[in-house]
Structure 1
């Protein structure tokens, strides 16, 4: 039996025209019509979660996946990729008695969220969609969501799926450029450099790095911050096609595939077909190398002279910070600054293009950074501060300084890095009876034993003997 291909659309689609002529062109590439399946799912119900769609995908696949020993593949657009990845971690357990997933070709996928997602939950969006907007799905798509961290856990910590297992994850995205200052002022999220109008290139790339920053007192009582690597995914094929938008019949990365398209005249179609032809680990690595070479040709290094090929493009990176206590509890009253050290003092770095605080999980802050602005000869400082809301637990301020050269080991072009910031909570130490203190002891023979304390632990003498 020939390999099967399942197509899965993105959020808010409700017609098979969303696939353009892709199904016809895949037949030209050698896939039989009887082995091509067009997916349909409901995404605008406010109470439907991505997990529900993953479970529904499992039920649908039981009816249509091929028999023992055969392979099947996915081509997804946008949110469809997260549905498949969630299905992989919930349901996919290949063995000798099942067919196996081959290639998962994820086109314009918000692997690490979309700046537009929280706009989609607005009242205006509800009016445009005449009702529900898919609130729960949009929460999962918002920058820095817990769902994205969970999917990254599978890749980084458990190695359950993706480049380290048999399901071969492949990323292709657009990076349209429209230099329209008026539109950018009216709706900057939809006309953002370094994106296809919906998904940032750095958010569409499944290759990622994760770090842990631990902020605590050292043996001398000084607050210090230490950063350590916590895993990475580096070898998944990732391609940027600068001419394509997220959607649309004229420039949409899938929507523009027409009956007149072929692999010679439509780069996105050719990339999808090449990805589906991968059969072995060697094929996969070779595709990753070819894609990386093409991306490198349009990506200037920080501080380098911009080439003609990339003169209209800017290169960005994305970093998601998650603030938690040493007990794993969320910290929601914090501040993060990215500074550059200069002879005249510390200055706010011009690399920060946008900051987003996750609506449902405000302990996560996502920075969108202009990668080209990192100068190798400067030192950059990440400064963290956390408030506790009480004088009984001390606020914390700490920083990490890295050279412009070393910062590239943390932040990479067209990628998202995730940084877990762990801050130890430190009870206030009472140095005098009239100062706040969370817990202390007093000797029973203390002459000033007759006292009481207020809500902040400050003592005052009562003049009454103890019982």
Structure 2
């Protein structure tokens, strides 16, 4: 077996892999009776501003061709284990070079640890002045090209995730796993940056952003409001939330905390990866999906409340739950990105934005490169409980207001009115829903007219007139 490890953003040393490579080398042989004959540790550049995810994926293809293929036996494929940004890197590589050709791909297993598949709320902060100053003192750049991809709602991540909606990796012999945690290493907590301690995340990446089980929904404006125009969801993918794991650090980090002497009995990351490697066909993959679903449910039950006295003068209680992330893309029927708008959630019998359960809203972030992208982070459990106290009700809607609302070209407000129960096929706990909203662009007939008069006349006060 040949295993390739791929690290995350801002890494400049292979010590980031901790003892996982050596721990797996001995554990695989002992538990699965498979010899790991080759280990390859990736060293890719994410700290140069001009480098993009696409560039790194091209570099990976060159490295696979020169360093991996010649070491594979006939019919053998390699295993790839990634951390954080390494997940999107390898997925981009797959889409670039093996789209709709996964059976020909030389990789059998993609095991992603805490992957930022839908980005990270921290990416936007990583491009700030303070971050640039920090990296300057360390002799590297922040890596703006990679951070652009990682920013919530980026065009690049949207495009890749739209592609993956069409894939059925398991049917093509490629077994994809997402392993993440939801513990916060309080020693990394920054009081000035609440994202480092955000509930439902590992301190860097939200579970919703890691999960490869997600959905796409297109709402189109009609005379009757917003209606569902298209929906899609990829094939079921394994998600396992490992107990007691955070994103980074050698204490509880999902990757770096692994010691070379660890085994399945002593470390949850090693145990989970060995279960992934044991999968060799669609039946065993389906069984693994169910096992990881049970692990996820148990972890979220056990870690719902955390009491900590260390680092604080008094004991503090932290609560977490199940969340969902809604990534909006606002466009019009002419293909224009919209930038001046409001997205409002509504509830109650009159679909009022003030009639929603208290505490359901957690965070909202615009994409800095495309203001037509807006990401909401909401508490699924609060919504589900608050909207369904009465089984016959549970009204839930979305109202879109786009500006300008008058003039020669303008937009009118539109609403989707339904129930939360009806939306549960789209909005699920621990998942991301990509929502494309297509608004009608209205144009008045006054924008272009013809006249028979040949004498000069001003038309600066022309009326808008009726819609074209």
TM-score of the aligned structures, taking structure 2 as reference length: 0.85
**Structure 1, residues 59-116: CA drift from partner, whole Å, max 9, x if none?**
1011223243111110000011111111101113798996731110011000000000
Alignment correspondent of 1:317: 324
**Structure 1, residues 342-382: CA drift from partner, whole Å, max 9, x if none?**
57954164422101100111111000011111132431121
1:278 partnered with 2:279: yes
1:347 partnered with 2:354: yes
Looking at structure 2, the residues matched to 308 and 172 of structure 1 have their Cα atoms a distance apart, in angstroms, of 17
Show the 5 A alignment for 1:210-289.
Answer: 210-216=216-222, 218=223, 224-289=225-290
Alpha-carbon contact 1:203-1:415 (below 8 Å) kept: yes
- Relative to structure 1, the CA distance from residue 136 to residue 390 in structure 2 (aligned partners, 3 Å threshold; closer, same or farther) is farther
In the TM superposition, residue 15 of structure 1 has moved relative to its aligned partner by 1.4
Q: What is the aligned counterpart of 2:444 among 415, 428, 431?
A: 428
Looking at structure 1, the residues matched to 44 and 226 of structure 2 have their Cα atoms a distance apart, in angstroms, of 46
Alignment correspondent of 2:397: 381
SS of match in other structure, 2:233? strand
Alpha-carbon contact 1:67-1:99 (below 8 Å) kept: no
**Structure 1, residues 207-245: CA drift from partner, whole Å, max 9, x if none?**
1110100013x3xxxx52102442102410001124111
Looking at structure 2, the residues matched to 94 and 123 of structure 1 have their Cα atoms a distance apart, in angstroms, of 41
Alignment correspondent of 1:291: 292
1:186 partnered with 2:192: yes
Q: What is the aligned counterpart of 1:113 among 115, 119, 132?
A: 119
RMSD of aligned alpha carbons: 2.8
Alpha-carbon contact 2:182-2:246 (below 8 Å) kept: yes
Looking at structure 2, the residues matched to 21 and 87 of structure 1 have their Cα atoms a distance apart, in angstroms, of 26
Give ranges in structure 1 of 5+ residues lacking alignment. Answer: 300-306, 430-436, 460-467
Structure possessing the higher radius of gyration over alpha carbons? 1
In the TM superposition, residue 398 of structure 1 has moved relative to its aligned partner by 0.9
In the TM superposition, residue 154 of structure 1 has moved relative to its aligned partner by 1.6
Looking at structure 2, the residues matched to 151 and 428 of structure 1 have their Cα atoms a distance apart, in angstroms, of 37
Looking at structure 2, the residues matched to 427 and 352 of structure 1 have their Cα atoms a distance apart, in angstroms, of 36
Looking at structure 2, the residues matched to 97 and 398 of structure 1 have their Cα atoms a distance apart, in angstroms, of 44
**Structure 1, residues 7-39: CA drift from partner, whole Å, max 9, x if none?**
000011121211111111111212545322111
- Relative to structure 1, the CA distance from residue 50 to residue 234 in structure 2 (aligned partners, 3 Å threshold; closer, same or farther) is same
Alpha-carbon contact 1:177-1:242 (below 8 Å) kept: no
1:329 partnered with 2:336: yes
- Relative to structure 1, the CA distance from residue 68 to residue 424 in structure 2 (aligned partners, 3 Å threshold; closer, same or farther) is farther
Alpha-carbon contact 1:341-1:381 (below 8 Å) kept: no
In the TM superposition, residue 56 of structure 1 has moved relative to its aligned partner by 0.5
In the TM superposition, residue 172 of structure 1 has moved relative to its aligned partner by 0.6
1:401 partnered with 2:417: yes
SS of match in other structure, 2:447? coil
Q: What is the aligned counterpart of 1:44 among 37, 42, 47?
A: 47
Alignment correspondent of 1:154: 163
Alpha-carbon contact 1:111-1:203 (below 8 Å) kept: yes
**Structure 1, residues 427-453: CA drift from partner, whole Å, max 9, x if none?**
136xxxxxxx324577x69xxx99642
- Matched residue pairs, number? 431
In the TM superposition, residue 5 of structure 1 has moved relative to its aligned partner by 1.1
SS of match in other structure, 1:215? strand
- Relative to structure 1, the CA distance from residue 415 to residue 185 in structure 2 (aligned partners, 3 Å threshold; closer, same or farther) is same
1:195 partnered with 2:195: no
Alignment correspondent of 1:418: 434
Q: What is the aligned counterpart of 2:130 among 89, 114, 124?
A: 124
SS of match in other structure, 1:87? helix
Alpha-carbon contact 1:68-1:99 (below 8 Å) kept: no
- Relative to structure 1, the CA distance from residue 226 to residue 198 in structure 2 (aligned partners, 3 Å threshold; closer, same or farther) is same
Looking at structure 1, the residues matched to 154 and 103 of structure 2 have their Cα atoms a distance apart, in angstroms, of 36
SS of match in other structure, 2:44? coil
1:70 partnered with 2:73: no
SS of match in other structure, 2:287? helix
